[in-house]
Amino acid sequence: MAKTIVEKIFSEQCGRNISAGDVVMAPVSGAMLHDITGPLAIDKFYEMGGDRVFDPAKVIMMFDHQAPADSLDAAENQKKMRIFAKEQGIYNYDIKEGVCHQVTMEKGRVSPGDIVVGGDSHTCTYGAAGAFATGIGSTDLGFVLRFGCLYFRVPETIRAEVSGRFSDLVGPKDLILKMTGDIGADGATYRAIEFCGETIERMGMAGRMTCCNMAIEMGAKAGLVPPDAVTRRWCEEYTSCTWKEFVSDPGATYHSTRSFDVSDLVPQVAVPHNVDHVVDVTAVAGTPVDQVFIGSCTNGRYEDLAEAAQVLKYRSFSNDVRVLVIPASRTEYLKALRAGIIERFVEAGALVEAPCCGPCMGGSFGLIAAGEVSFATSNRNFRGRQGSTSGEVYLGSPATATATAITGKITDPREVA
């Protein structure tokens, strides 16, 4: 029987024939917890009679949402998790490495064919490596810490076929915004999205992570890219896994197939206050902004920072705009630093922060006040997402964010390149 990549992964991990719609108790290959959802997951672990976690080597811990601690509550939560890690023999990346999704990937904690869960909705990022990765609640995460498995209803798959070549200064973020606008915020609810086609095959791991990261913005349980030569090279560099090529069979049954052609795609912008409210940049060009945020688990990698630098060149950022640049991890920060990109941002007037989530969830630093407007490369623009519920957040690519930071108003990057 022909199977999708998701059905193959669950069949492999469960040791029997699994099809979409089946409800299974599946073992997990990894469990990620961070400083916001982790403390409650630890409480639930103990409430369920936990003594020792199922496998310390499969637990991934780090602090990124409020890192370093920006309140007494945050400090206490992080202290609690540090104690738990030491007691359980869990390696804790703590505050020094960066955003959980980037770090989990670059530390080789995900491999093709894995089932990975995390206490964060954007855990689906790891699907770029050909894994089934999904975010779960703290109670479920406590169960996983205790038992090393979790109930799943194996999702149907939407096949997203992407063709064509990107124009200059148009890329993966514009594609995933376009997809989100077309499919809708609930158009893929509890389904997997399989990103495939010639455009995806040419895309590097950074772009694939951007696409998979935002699968949840369409309601998807997971987003996956079938493992190929790009994945293999990434695995050889970052992991010690035994290569397994999980790809969908010809004739596999999909929920639906959606086709996208990027040949004529222009820079896209998600406008307040929904991620699926997406328009061409020309529709909102000229909108004044107060802050620009370049970073996050969606677009904080070296490739994203290099794209921003390509647009910036030797110009300065507008004096009317606060510009925050936050690399996704220490590794990505160092790449940009050694390439001279960090220096260029600072010279241009940006505040470059240590790797962390920063203003992304509106619970740490870099918040916007009532009536202020932010343009960000992150993944959500709900009310209050980056501060005041009376503020507004627009989303776009690093290129569009940089052009906007230069002019002080939303700008098509192709106009300033």
Per the listing, tokens 């790891």 go with 126
Give the homologous superfamily in CATH for domain 268-415: Aconitase, domain 3 (3.30.499.10)
| Cβ atoms of residues 192 and 6 within 8 Å | yes
Q: Tens of pLDDT along the chain (417 residues)?
A: 899 999 999 999 999 999 999 999 999 999 999 989 999 999 999 999 999 999 999 999 999 888 898 889 999 999 999 999 999 999 999 999 999 999 999 999 999 999 999 999 999 999 999 999 999 999 999 999 999 999 999 999 999 999 999 999 999 999 999 999 999 999 999 999 999 999 999 999 999 999 999 999 999 999 999 999 999 998 888 877 777 778 898 899 999 999 999 999 999 999 999 989 999 999 999 999 999 999 998 999 999 999 999 999 999 999 999 999 999 999 999 999 999 999 999 999 999 999 988 888 877 788 989 999 999 999 888 888 878 888 999 999 999 999 999 999 999 999 987
| Cβ atoms of residues 33 and 44 within 8 Å | no
| Cβ atoms of residues 60 and 30 within 8 Å | yes
Structural domain spans, the chain: 5-260, 268-415
Rg of the chain over Cα atoms, rounded to whole angstroms, equals: 20
Instruction: Tell me the CATH architecture of domain 5-260.
Output: 2-Layer Sandwich (3.30)
5-260 and 268-415 have identical folds: yes
pTM of the predicted model, to two decimals? 0.92
CB contact set of 116 (below 8 Å; sequence gap of 6+): 28, 29, 30, 31, 32, 104, 109, 110, 123, 126, 131, 132, 133, 134
CA distances from 378 to 45, 122, 213, 225, 397 (A): 31, 11, 10, 21, 9
